[in-house]
Amino acid sequence: MFRRAQRRIVVPFLLPASLLLAVFFLYPLARTVQLSFSEFTRTGRQRFVGLSQYAELIGDDQFLASLGHAVVLALAGGCMLFPPAVAIAWAFHQRLHGERVFRFLIFAPVVLSVAVVALMWKFILHPTLGLVNPAFAAIGLGDLVPVLLGDPRTALLAVAFTAVWHGIGIWIVLTTSGFARLPADVLEAGRLDGAGEWTLFARVMLPMMRDLFRTLTILWIVQSLQAFAFVFIMTGGGPFGSTEIPATLMFRVAFENAEFGYAAAMGVVIVVLLLAAALGLNKLLKRDDLEY
């Protein structure tokens, strides 16, 4: 009886969210899967081809290269993101003087749109109109800095840096909240035992926050695979395809080549890979639950 009463209360609250999920996620996903089994001509005719487009993806060097670029973007961006985010969050946990000003400066880029940030950094990194290359050239060190967005060796790293610069404020806020919820009595016991702040940080705080870091790692990998706007605006997938990721490749295949079925197959594969990566990392990084 009690459970029935609970359902009557809970179900009406779940209906709006369930409806939005079905309309904006489940239906588009089902439609994408359906399209992936079809081939479209330029006249708009649809022909069922089964799994042939998935088989074609396995041997598509361009698609495999884009997956490799996405992995590099995730790894390079993660190395740029997590160490400074953890360090800054720990500094905020120590109650710095002028903390509110630093919080504002770090979180300010988050409120800007991705398009604005991408365009801004595209101009900053411009070899002649920007700030980086001309500044180094003015002091006689111009040969040390390549054209960051025009060099295949550095373009993807520049895009990763821009994505990190835009979103690091969110990760700092989440990590700061993780430090704030640590039990004060455990930390105080460590200090009474003679542990310094660095020892507490490395051997007590970080291990107790591993569940948070696992979640943040999974979220970053998902976000890096979806960094469409940064790549599309800053490099367009170039130079020479060195920054092409699955999202930009899928866009070009669908809207430039009019191969909607093949692009849909790419989308389905990306969703499956994201789910597999999230489940795999969750299982790999999972440890026994800590109670405190």
User: What average pLDDT does this structure show over 9-28?
Assistant: 85
Dmax over CA atoms of the chain, in Å, equals 80
Instruction: Write down the pLDDT at residue 160.
Output: 94
Question: Cα–Cα–Cα angle for 96, 97, 101, nearest 5°?
Answer: 95
User: What average pLDDT does this structure show over 239-262?
Assistant: 90
Residue 292, classed as helix, strand or coil, is coil
User: What average pLDDT does this structure show over 223-242?
Assistant: 88
Residue 209 above 70 pLDDT? yes
- Residue 228: left (phi > 0), alpha (psi -120 to 50), or beta? alpha
Instruction: Write down the pLDDT at residue 212.
Output: 87
Is the separation of the CB atoms in 248 and 73 below 8 Å? no
* Residue partners of 87: CB distance under 8 A and separation at least 6: none
Output the six-digit token pair for 10. Answer: 């809970």
Instruction: Specify burial of residue 110 (Cβ count, 10 A radius: 0-12, 13-18, 19+).
Output: middle
pLDDT > 90: percent of the chain:
27
Is the separation of the CB atoms in 35 and 264 below 8 Å? yes
Instruction: Write down the pLDDT at residue 64.
Output: 93
Condensed to tens digits (0 to 9), the pLDDT of residues 150-192 reads: 889 999 999 999 999 998 989 998 998 888 888 888 888 888 8
Q: What whole-number distance in Å separates Cα of residue 287 and Cα of residue 209?
A: 11
Residue 2 above 60 pLDDT? no
CA atoms within 13 Å, Cβ hemisphere of 77 = 33
Burial 146-158 (b: 16+ CB within 10 A, else e): bbbbebeebbbbb
Output the six-digit token pair for 100. Answer: 């509110």
Instruction: Write down the pLDDT at residue 193.
Output: 78
Condensed to tens digits (0 to 9), the pLDDT of residues 61-111 reads: 999 999 999 999 999 999 999 999 999 888 888 776 777 888 888 888 888
Condensed to tens digits (0 to 9), the pLDDT of residues 100-140 reads: 888 888 888 888 899 999 999 999 998 888 888 888 888 87
Q: What are phi and psi of 130, to 5 degrees?
A: -85, -160
Condensed to tens digits (0 to 9), the pLDDT of residues 37-65 reads: 988 766 667 788 888 999 999 889 999 99
Q: What are phi and psi of 47, to 5 degrees?
A: -135, 130
Is the separation of the CB atoms in 151 and 243 below 8 Å? no
Q: Which of 201, 217, 221, 213 is CA-nearest to residue 175?
A: 213
Place of tokens 């999202």: 247
Output the six-digit token pair for 106. Answer: 């770090």
Question: All domains of the chain, ordered by start, with CATH?
Answer: 68-240 (1.10.3720.10)
- Residue type present at position 261: G
Residue 254, classed as helix, strand or coil, is helix
Instruction: Specify burial of residue 124 (Cβ count, 10 A radius: 0-12, 13-18, 19+).
Output: middle
Place of tokens 């706007």: 229
Please report, for residues 38, 143, 266, 268, 275, the alpha-carbon distance to residue 261 in angstroms, rounded to integers and kept in the order given: 5, 46, 9, 11, 21
Q: What whole-number distance in Å separates Cα of residue 57 and Cα of residue 74?
A: 22
Condensed to tens digits (0 to 9), the pLDDT of residues 144-160 reads: 778 889 889 999 999 99
Instruction: Write down the pLDDT at residue 287.
Output: 64
Instruction: Write down the pLDDT at residue 41.
Output: 66
Instruction: Specify the pTM.
Output: 0.86
